[in-house]
Chains A and B, each alone.
Chain A
Amino acid sequence: MNPAAIDVTDTTVHHGHILALDRLDLHIPPQTVCGLLGTNGSGKSTLFKTILGLTRPDHGRTRIMGHTPTAARRAGLLAYLPQAEQVDWTFPLRVDDVVMMGRYNHMGPRRDPRPTDRQAVDQALHRTALTELAHRQIGALSGGQRKRAFLARALAQNAPILLLDEPFAGIDKHSESTITDLLRTLPAQGHTLLISTHDLTQVPTLCDQALLLQRRVLAQGTPEHVLRPELLMQAFTTHTPQEDPA
């Protein structure tokens, strides 16, 4: 059997006194699209940070395709789409400059782009329908175009595992369908996707698997199985003492 794409075992994370993840166990098989569902404060961002090695758990073990988070990052196994508000959009970079940053771990120490890198960038821009905006300053993009630019960066990186944090939050219908169609094609090309989302209507069409989080995994399985009213009630009405600070 293949090793799981993402394997998190018995993991507990505290932010100060707030319990963010509580002995969480999670196994995501390779080449699936997995929807991560839960309220604010359910630990979605913390889970991403744990997989990326940005948060040090109090306890537990994380493996990405059998590697530790550090080794996985060095091997270029992980790509991450942050929520858009986490960078400075006035930064003097063009869309193609940002997408090129996805190629840095394919390059030498000075990050001089080679023809293959330019090709990968052009291709990623094409797949996200951004070719015509390639020379725009990134701040001149709309919310949906910004998400697509980050997605293009992740595609250019060509990492087997993509972590997407709320990719559909606050974007237009056109961008949403461009992103959804594109994401559906990725498992066949060997990618595994973990997507956090508030938008439950997306889940049945987009995801092979859904995962209900409330500091630990309440349910995991096919979208039909997980999106049952009694389970959703449990996940979305459980009292969360405090907002996730992340």
Chain B
Amino acid sequence: MNETLTALTDFFALPLQSPRIQRALLTAVAAGLVCAVLSCWITLMGWSLMADAISHAVLPGVVLSYMFGLPITLGALIFGTGSVALIGTVNRTSRIKEDAAIGVVFTTMFALGLVLNSRMPTRTDLEDILFGNILDVSNTDTAQVLTLTALALTLLWYKHRDLTLYAFDPVHAHTLGLHPRRLEALLLGLLALTVVVALQAVGIILVVAMVIIPGTTARLLTDRFETMLALASAIATTAALLGVLTSFHLNTPTGATIVLTQSGAFTLAYLLSPRHSPLTRPRQRTRT
């Protein structure tokens, strides 16, 4: 019993002695939280592919920011929102379907990023950008993440009912004199912002997991949106905490470990959720 307790204390206390781990933990929890809250709308809107696109499309922005010594958040944000606008334009002004427009724009941007990176006088460490390097975030990085997280959460707190109305029934939003296009732009802007925040924690390749898995997991467990927000937040912050600590002890990549912890939560919810579980579902169709 005592040994278990000591082991448990060690699991939490040992890593926390290092300021490096403290910073990583703070960054991961903040990024995980804001991604989780947003993920509830993203999964209901069916914007998973859009999230993946934005995360890849920021690469040239990150590389150019290194080139000119600017904060990478700035470059990433410009290319993130720019890509969303480009996808919207291609989608509206041609006969191309949205998923194809997304595919064309994000692969083009990602390729542009790779080429730009190869031409840079001082190469950035591509691996850090692609896979994240949360253990080496600076105080400035952490401060940026916290500021943007606070900004995004404040906007979501203020607008969450309008966004839910837009996601459920944009025509009703219009009838009430609201502006569905503006709400869509706000949600896409927040998605770009959030992806940029989470980039620091888990890198370009895995960031999409952070804005899909928590909301999807929570959706399996509840039929109420407000509960979904709370559950997604709890799942993501716990996963960030356990992921960082586990990666410290097992010496595994931090971003990937956080994502795997979230995946573990999803698998549990999928198997055990009362109404949706494939283990307990009756044979006949249960959909209404």
Interface residue from B162, B175, B219 paired with A73 (Cβ < 8 Å): B175
Interface residue from A73, A76, A86, A111 paired with B174 (Cβ < 8 Å): A73
Q: Is the CB of B168 within 8 A of A87?
A: yes
What are 27 A-B contacts with C-beta separation under 8 Å? A52-B174, A53-B174, A75-B177, A76-B177, A78-B175, A80-B171, A80-B172, A82-B169, A88-B168, A91-B167, A91-B168, A92-B223, A92-B224, A92-B225, A92-B227, A93-B224, A93-B225, A94-B224, A101-B168, A101-B169, A101-B172, A104-B176, A104-B178, A111-B161, A111-B162, A153-B172, A157-B176
Interchain residue pairs A-B with the least CB separation, the first 8? A111-B161, A74-B177, A73-B177, A137-B223, A105-B176, A80-B175, A92-B225, A87-B169
- Asked if B16 lies at the interface with its beta carbon under 8 angstroms from chain A, I say no
- Asked if B288 lies at the interface with its beta carbon under 8 angstroms from chain A, I say yes
> Chain B at the A interface: mostly helix, strand, loop or mixed?
helix
Q: Which residues of A contact B168 (CB under 8 A)?
A: 87-88, 91, 93, 98, 101
- In the complex, the number of residue pairs spanning A and B with C-beta atoms less than 8 Å apart equals 73
Distance A5 CA – B175 CA, assembled complex (angstroms): 16
Distance A171 CA – B99 CA, assembled complex (angstroms): 36
Distance A110 CA – B164 CA, assembled complex (angstroms): 12
Residues 75-120 of A contacting B (Cβ, < 8 Å) = 75-76, 78-80, 82, 86-89, 91-94, 97-98, 101, 104-105, 109-111
Q: Is the CB of A94 within 8 A of B223?
A: yes
- Asked if B222 lies at the interface with its beta carbon under 8 angstroms from chain A, I say yes
Q: Which residues of B contact A157 (CB under 8 A)?
A: 176
Q: Is the CB of A101 within 8 A of B288?
A: no
Min Cβ gap A218→B in Å is: 28
Best-buried of B44, B162, B177, B227 by chain A (most CB within 10 Å): B177
Q: Is the CB of B162 within 8 A of A104?
A: yes
Q: Is the CB of A139 within 8 A of B288?
A: yes
Distance A132 CA – B288 CA, assembled complex (angstroms): 19
Q: Is the CB of B225 within 8 A of A97?
A: yes
Q: Is the CB of A54 within 8 A of B224?
A: no
Best-buried of A75, A78, A91, A93 by chain B (most CB within 10 Å): A93
- Asked if A140 lies at the interface with its beta carbon under 8 angstroms from chain B, I say yes
Chain A residue with the shortest CB-CB distance to B45: A88
Min Cβ gap B80→A in Å is: 26
Min Cβ gap B219→A in Å is: 7
Distance A98 CA – B165 CA, assembled complex (angstroms): 9
Chain A residue with the shortest CB-CB distance to B167: A91
Q: Which residues of A contact B51 (CB under 8 A)?
A: none
Given contacts A101-B169, A137-B223, contact A91 B174 (CB under 8 A): no
Min Cβ gap B141→A in Å is: 32
Q: Which residues of A contact B44 (CB under 8 A)?
A: 88, 91-92
Distance A101 CA – B224 CA, assembled complex (angstroms): 15
- Asked if B228 lies at the interface with its beta carbon under 8 angstroms from chain A, I say yes
B222-235, CB under 8 A of A: which get 1 and which 0?
A: 11110110000000
Distance A80 CA – B168 CA, assembled complex (angstroms): 15
Distance A41 CA – B276 CA, assembled complex (angstroms): 41
- Asked if B158 lies at the interface with its beta carbon under 8 angstroms from chain A, I say yes
Min Cβ gap B47→A in Å is: 13
